[in-house]
Amino acid sequence: MQHGRCRAIFAQYQSDDWITSPWSLFETVNSLRQLCLKSNGPKPVVIEAIRRQLKHWHTRGVFQTEMPDLQEGVIECQQLSAACGTQLKMRSADVLHVALLEQLAPDLFLTRDKEQHALALNRAFPSRLIP
């Protein structure tokens, strides 16, 4: 919410379409909710307001949700695991993010996760790591 670097990146690409999927939306909102567990974290009502705002931004903002086939995504996960599972750190949720890129075909994948970034580059998806 206060992350200057994410805001800078967002402003840089504000004229582009930001593609989300049901999986990335779930992970985003779930992570926001988890912040409420921190002792000085945000209140649940604030997170709920942000969730609704994110939904609103899919109508008025730059976000648009695509609906990839999750079963196809899991098959891609298995292929990614077979190809890279002994060389890279690959948590299952991270692998699914990268696997869905095959269907979403974005011009650029933006992530703050080093493992997702490494895996995406390994599979030749254009990726940018937000520091």
Question: What single letter denotes the amino acid at residue 21?
Answer: S
Q: How far is the CB of 104 from other proteins (least distance, A)?
A: 12
Q: Which of 40, 71, 86, 92 binds other proteins (CB under 8 A)?
A: 40
Reported in sequence order, the residue ranges of 6-122 that DSSP labels E, i.e. its strands, are: 18-20, 63-65, 109-111
**Is residue 87 close enough to count as binding other proteins by CB under 8 A?**
no
Judged by CB under 8 A, the residue of 17, 87, 105, 126 near other proteins is 17
Rounded CA separation 82/104 (Å): 21
Question: Shortest approach of other proteins to residue 41 CB, angstroms?
Answer: 7
CA-based radius of gyration for the chain: 15
Say if strands 18-20 and 63-65 run parallel, antiparallel, or are unpaired: parallel
Q: Hey, what are 1's tokens?
A: 């919410």
The reply to whether 61 sits near other proteins by the rule CB under 8 A is yes
Would you tell me which residues interact with other proteins (CB under 8 A)?
1-3, 7, 10-11, 14, 17, 31, 34-35, 38, 40-42, 46, 49-50, 53, 57, 59-62, 64, 66-67, 112-113
